[in-house]
Amino acid sequence: MEQANDKPARSDSGGPEIGDKVYDPDTGREAIVTDRQQATGILLLRAIYGTDQWHPADPTRLTVVCPRDEMRKHI
C-alpha cells in the first residue's frame, strides 16, 4: 500500500502525536493515534473504521499519513 506521505513517524517527542493518522505496516492498516503512555511512550492505535484498538509491534515503522493539524481541517 503506497502512502501519501513517506516521512517516518517522528517528532521531537520521538514519534507520531495523538490525533495523527498513521499507517502500520505490521498490520497493513491505517489508524489514529489515540493515546501515548507518558512513562513508557507506548502508543494506542484505533482503526479508522470500526472499534479495533492495538499497540503497534514496532512504533518506529509507523508512517504519518496525515498529521493531526491536517486531520482537524477535515472534521
Whole-number pLDDT of residue 61: 95
Q: Which residues of the chain have pLDDT under 70?
A: 1-14, 74-75
* Residue 7, pLDDT score: 45
pTM of the model: 0.75
Instruction: Specify the pLDDT at position 1.
Output: 37
Element (H, E) at 72: helix 68-73
* Helix residue spans in 1-74 (DSSP H): 68-73
pLDDT of residue 2: 39
Residues whose CB is less than 8 angstroms from the CB of residue 68 and which lie 6 or more positions away in sequence, other chains included: 17, 18, 19, 20
pLDDT digits 0-9 by tens, 51-62: 999 999 999 999
- The pLDDT of residue 74 is 66
